[in-house]
Copies of this chain bind each other. A is one copy, B any other.
Amino acid sequence: MKQHQETLVVRTPGRGLVEITRETSAIVARSGVTTGLAVVFCAHTSASLLIQENADPDVRADLLAFLARLAPDGDPRYRHDSEGPDDMAAHLRTALGRSSESIPVVASRLALGTWQGLYLAEHRTAPHTRRLVVHVTGT
């Protein structure tokens, strides 16, 4: 068994979903792992990871609208707003999402289903540089 670790830097254009399937797959390829596990970790508290449909872009639009209804910007009940009206909303959306995704590697590829894409969800309205760590183990 071997392991391989890389930092993946993603520049986001502000709030929205950025697909990172290709970049993550490239790291799996560089790891030389045929059978194993890939773990992607997001080192931020206002961005999260998500596996969702990569076909119809309406799915992503609906998901963002859903999160906006659930954890709206500028809710007067928030105490924390140091960085603006999207600050606490971004923390809440991150808490509803995931800080890591674990995906088996089968036959040298991520075992994603036909319609699954891996996304970084940027929850702040301004562009950010996000740092992910991708950890691959296996044989």
Contact = CB atoms under 8 A, between A and B. Distances in A.
Interface of A: 1-3, 5, 35-37, 39, 41, 43-45, 50-53, 56, 58-59, 61-63, 65-66, 70-71, 77-80, 82, 88, 91-92, 94-104, 106, 111-113, 115-116, 131, 133, 135, 137-139
A133 B116 contact: no
A66 B62 contact: no
How many of these chains are in the complex? 3
Contacts of A135: 36-37, 104
Contact of A59 (B52, B66, B80, B112): B80
Nearest to A116: B45
A106 B133 contact: yes
Given A35-B3, A43-B111, A133-B104, A63 B138 contact: no
A95 B63 contact: yes
Query: Which 8 pairs across A and B sit closest by C-beta, in order of nearness?
Result: A43-B113, A58-B80, A58-B79, A100-B102, A104-B133, A51-B99, A45-B53, A104-B135
A59 B91 contact: yes
A45 to B, nearest CB: 4
